[in-house]
Amino acid sequence: MSQSQTAVIIPAAGSGERLGMGVPKALVELAGETLIHRAVRNLASIAELIIVAAPIGSEDEIARAIDAPNVQVVSGGPRRSQSVANAIKVLPSNFTYVLVHDAARAFAPTDLAQRILNELVGGAEAVIPALDVVDTIKVVDSESYVINTPDRTSLRAIQTPQGFTREVITRAHAAGKDATDDAALVAELGVRVKVIQGDPLARKITTLDDLAWAKELVGHS
């Protein structure tokens, strides 16, 4: 029942400049499979619909790379939050739960998404996965001098997919604000955001070091 009530939004309009591959990040290939195809495949079993926000001008190419049923491709925006908002605009009214997932976290396992969905079905309005922070974190000023050292036991490194009720995620994006993740916009509404244990496989592929990790993971060099 929850699958038929669940949609996934994947903002995939990033240029991937830091990877330097010459194509949008979603179209970077590992062992012959694009990141966007891997991301969609890992979430397809828990959702009735997946909406992908693609770079403007690359919509058809993204659609061909996905090549999967129940996927709709829309034009993304220059900012992540705009891409999510564009996807929300075409989301049919019958969906109760929405998962928002970064295409760059292409190896996030299905189990992680299912655990998030389980929390939503159980009554949570917003659920995000996270890993413990193992490094000491410093807050620095504009001149790179340390201001303070937060207690890392209360810090978490946030991942995706992030899950929300449809009503909450729609309200969060109604104001047109921007944030690095959707949970920040939801928290501004006063909605409590539940944190669950994340997964190392949900690592975001942003730099060449991340890409090297992904290549090793798939046994491709």
CA distance readout (Å), 81 to 71, 84, 119, 151, 186: 20, 5, 24, 29, 12
Helix H or strand E segment including 72: strand 71-75
Instruction: Say how many domains are in the chain.
Output: 1
For residues 52 and 73, is the Cβ–Cβ distance under 8 A?
yes
Q: Domain with 84 in it: what CATH number?
A: 3.90.550.10
Range of the domain at 176: 3-217
pLDDT of residue 126: 98
Q: What is the pTM of this model?
A: 0.93
With b for 16 or more beta-carbon neighbours within 10 A and e for fewer, the 99-119 pattern comes to bbbbbbbbbbeeebbebbbeb
Give the pLDDT confidence score for residue 113 in this predicted structure.
Answer: 98
In whole angstroms, what is the distance from residue 136 CA to residue 17 CA?
28
* pLDDT given at position 212: 93
In the chain, alpha helices (H): 35-43, 59-66, 80-89, 110-121, 166-174, 182-188, 208-217
> Which stretches in the chain have pLDDT values below 50?
221
